[in-house]
Structure 1
Amino acid sequence: MDTKQLADFLRVRREALDPGDVGLPDTGRRRTPGLRREEVARLADISTDYYTRLEQDRAPQPSPGVLRAITRALRLTLDERDHLFRLAGHRPPDRRRSDEHVAPSLLGVLDRLYDVPAQVMTDLGATLVQNDLARAVFGDLTRLRGAAGTVVYRWFTDPRARAGYPVQDHATESRALVADLRAAAVRRDDAQAKDLVKRLLRASPEFEALWRLHPVGVMRSRRKRIQHPEVGLLELDCQVLVDEERTQILALFSPAAGTPTAERLTLLGSLGPLAAQRSSR
């Protein structure tokens, strides 16, 4: 671990960012250039004290999880991310297998979305980053790891994942998730996708029955209905933007026209962290 170069790299990258680059409000002229340390720490969901010690060359070795969070907070490119990992004494993630690096361009779009829920996900359905409104609607899904981090695995193995959806929508949701996973698994043809399918086949007879029907379909747009515990029924039109390598998607959830969903999203946004704590979809 090269703590001196690590500290310098973090400081230089922080000072190169303006608040608007990361979706923060511009509060006027600053005495020093770039983001404040506490802003980077908040974006990375780590303590300000720990981040400060990293920049001051007096912190213990950061974990890969912390490095991934800092990568997103500082909007690093893949090359910069790999450099960060090496400075911190870790091997960089394998680009051929890892899909957890969110491109700065996708993060830039997400930063500017305030009035609709939006989140970046892998094509296997793991949530990588969410805006505040998405956390309020779906709960904080970014902390989940492994198979349980994917929406399709939770749907077929954890009854709580279906609790917020009207019962009459369950069959349609099940088939759509299986069809999307089938397309992604063949497109990727990697160990991660194969392992997810094997786990689901062992864990869920419903999944196994649908898998045998061989449905195929990439989810690009559809209507989702969610019964939120704080504001009631939300009817959302989901639109999906796909990155160039088709390994990540930006999912946007717009309020359906002719429904009270827009007003309910506004109310939900005003509830802040409380809503996210009570929601998990």
Structure 2
Amino acid sequence: MNAAELAGFLRTRRARVQPADVGLDGGGRRQTRGLRRAEVAERAGVSLDYYTRLEQGRRLRPSRQVVIALARALHLSDGERNYLLGLVGEAAVPVPMSRTTDAGARRLLDQLGAVPAMVLNSRYDILAWNRMLDALVANLAELPERERNTLRWLFTGPAAGIGPRDRARLGRRCVADLRGSGRYPDDPGVRQLVTELSRESGEFAELWERHDVGVHRPVTKRMVHPDVGALDLSCEVLTVPDTDQRVMVYTAAPGTGTDRALRGLWARVGEQGGC
């Protein structure tokens, strides 16, 4: 634990919060910029002496509950709260699981044009996609919402033309990433997905029981498209700040057969869309 960094962070965050921000009367003469220590301590449910010692850099280790209470009292953002948790050696609190697409991610999908791309949340639900992903994989709008999930594709579906070796490799990576997100078992959506896939897929159940933890990294995979044949695609993952969303894009090295095939698919998309 970094007591000095914790102390400095608490002092600067306290000075930033105005009394009116937390429903306190800011009238009269206040010698303290921002909130008083006593006001923060009362709002967080700790003693003034304890909070004062934290700001003085004493080597105390506040509990997770106290840190989260201090974050609320100081009006910290999700990122600031998780930074504060990290200072005392606690795991970050995952942001709520997304059900709708971040506006910036949606604009990015629209602007990518010829690059197949989709937006995923923390449990691999596909929240949005562009026309090139439809051309590459399937018409996702025709699928039930429950089936628009890439983990279901890998373990209980056709996996959209991906070969058995690549599918197994991707499955291992994705299961490790799902566990590494820190959402299981507290997130009901993730817990439900794990329960269902464990029941429906022996392979998923075996991988989940390994307790492997990882982070989704760029990967190259081969898939066979019914119209343009074999494609060697680089799968890149871009995180969307302050959400659990990620933009997944599929690209090909310039001048390769896969690059030419993707350009051909894009030309067809334009013709079908009247562009």
Give the TM-score range, shorter chain.
Answer: 0.5 to 0.7
Is contact 1:123-1:246 (8 Å) kept?
Answer: no
TM-score, structure 1 length as denominator?
0.57
Contact 1:136 1:273 in 2 (8 A): no
- Name which one, 1 or 2, has greater alpha-carbon Rg: 2
Structure 2: runs of 5+ lacking an equivalent: 1-94
Task: Say if 2:228 is the partner of 1:250.
Answer: no
The residue type equivalent to 1:216 in the other structure is V
Residue 267 of structure 2 is matched in structure 1 by 270
Q: Aligned pairs, how many?
A: 179
Given the superposition, is the C-alpha separation of residues 191 and 268 from structure 1 closer, same or farther in structure 2, using an over 3 Å criterion? same
Separation of aligned partners in 1, 2:184 and 2:243 = 9
> Aligned partners of 2:125 and 2:133: how far apart in 1?
14
Are the structure 2 counterparts of residues 188 and 144 from structure 1 closer, same or farther at C-alpha, using a change threshold of 3 Å?
Answer: farther
Task: Give me the identity figure in percent.
Answer: 33
Distance 2:261 2:106 in 1: 25
Q: Where do 1:64-75 residues align within 5 Å?
A: none
Q: C-alpha distance in 1, partners of 2:165/2:174?
A: 16
Note the C-alpha offset of 1:264. 0.1
Judge conservation of contact 1:127–1:142 (CA < 8 Å) in 2.
no
Q: Is the 8 A contact 1:116 1:255 kept in 2?
A: no
Separation (CA, whole Å) in 2 of partners of 1:164 and 1:212: 27
Alpha-carbon distance, 1:205 to partner: 0.9
- Matching residue of 1:154: 153
- Look up the match of 1:128: 127
Unaligned runs of 5+ in 1: 1-95, 276-281
Structure 2 counterpart of 1:141: 140
Change (3 A) 1:118 1:146: closer
1:229 has 2:226 as partner: yes
Shift of 1:170: 2.7
Q: CA deviation at 1:142?
A: 4.7
Question: Measured at CA, do residues 188 and 274 of structure 1 come closer, stay the same or move farther in structure 2, by a change above 3 Å?
Answer: farther
Match of 1:198 among 195, 211, 218: 195
| Partner residue in 2 for 1:68 | none
Superposed counterparts of 1:26-105, under 5 Å: 99-105=98-104
Return closer, same or farther for 1:215/1:266 CA change in 2, 3 Å cut-off.
Answer: same
Match of 1:169 in 2: 166
> What CA distance in whole angstroms lies between the structure 2 residues aligned with 1:260 and 1:156?
29
SS in structure 1 of the partner of residue 183 of structure 2: helix
* Residue 196 (structure 1) shift: 0.3
Which amino acid in structure 2 is aligned with residue 141 of structure 1?
L
Q: Find the aligned partners of 2:184 and 2:236 in 1 and give their Cα distance.
A: 21
Taking structure 2 as the reference length, what is the TM-score of the superposition? 0.58
